Amino acid sequence: MVNNIKSILLFLAIILSCSLMAADNNPTTIKIALLPDEDAATLIKKHQRFKAYLTEHLGREIELLVTTDYSSMIEAMRHARIDLGYFGPLSYVIARSRSNIEAFAAKTNHGSSTYQAVVVGSVRRGVMSLDEIKGGDMAYGDLASTSSHLIPKKMLLDAKLQAGKDYQAHFLGAHDAVAMAVQRGHASAGGLSKPIFEMLLERGVIDVNKVRVLAVSTPFPQYPWAMRSDLNPVLKARIKRAFYQLQDKNILKTMKAEGLVPVSDIDYDIVRELKSALDL
């Protein structure tokens, strides 16, 4: 009799556990992580309109999060502590290799869903070309950043400059921190996203007379929005529709986008190839 009761209780515990897991796949509050490439408070503040838009179109509470760095964002997705995330191409590729997630949207600009990285030099240090980085130091953003590490590192490698041999690499975490370090002469050069660099110039954060663009990369696929693949299919469809139908100009301006279009995992194979080439 006791054994039967224990068996029944165990069965009920399993059923309850499964029910809770199913509920997680159709959350009443959707947790969305924003890429930590700028100050967290600034990112959350400027995405409040987007939060309100998603709340209205999905009929659910939206919680915006900014993790401390790219790695913690990857881990948060791996443990299903977030439902959606705005990743850099490299951090998405890494997260995808460790998690059951899928890329589904990316922004467009000038009719294209690609973007570029730049390597910038310090005018104060007299760095006028990639060659003059040799013997100096290079500022990167996050280790898992595409445009603030992966791409500029390959650009320097193509110019016969190898990290640890021809220059010292330093990781500062965010794109704006890289630009500021170069402007102040704390680094000979730095790598960051071209759109972010142009935004910093536009806002007057960076002085064009103090920071010189040394090289611009070839185009790469835009930062993807990715979601947990195990989310409820109806919810996934609603999320995609909300993203693809976004037309609010104020929200799109904040995203520095003309619109959001569908993407898939295969679009990021070029990033996987580059990651492999650099043995990262």
- Residue 139's pLDDT is 98
Residues 99 and 225 in one domain: yes
Residues 125 and 191 in one domain: yes
Residues 180 and 104 in one domain: no
Task: Grade residue 38 by pLDDT with cuts at 50, 70 and 90.
Answer: confident
Reported as type and span, the H/E element at residue 102 is strand 101-108
Most confident of 66-75, 138-147, 228-237: 228-237
pTM exceeds 0.85: no
- Residue 277's pLDDT is 79
Tokens describing residue 166: 């021809």
The last residue of a domain, from among 218, 236, 261: 218
Three-state secondary-structure class, residue 245: coil
Angle between helix 48-58 and helix 233-244 axes, rounded to 10 deg: 130
- What is the DSSP code string of 235-264? HHHHHHHHHHT---HHHHHHHT-SEEEE--
Residues 191 and 136 in one domain: yes
Residues 36 and 57 in one domain: yes
**Domains of the chain: total:** 2
For residue range 233-266, list pLDDT tens digits in order: 999 999 999 999 999 999 999 998 999 999 999 9
Residues 129 and 42 in one domain: no
What is the C-alpha to C-alpha distance for residues 222 and 240, in angstroms, rounded to an integer? 17
Residues 124 and 102 in one domain: no
Residues 158 and 237 in one domain: no
Q: What is the average per-residue pLDDT within 112-125? A: 95
Print the domain residue range for 213.
117-218
Residues 107 and 163 in one domain: no
Residues 16 and 50 in one domain: yes
Residues 149 and 137 in one domain: yes
The last residue of a domain, from among 218, 249, 264: 218
The last residue of a domain, from among 202, 218, 234: 218
Q: What is the CATH number of the domain that holds 189?
A: 3.40.190.10
Give the contacts of 128 (CB within 8 A, at least 6 positions apart): 121, 212, 214
Least confident segment among 18-27, 211-220, 223-232, 235-244:
18-27
Residues 42 and 181 in one domain: no
pLDDT at 5 over 60: no
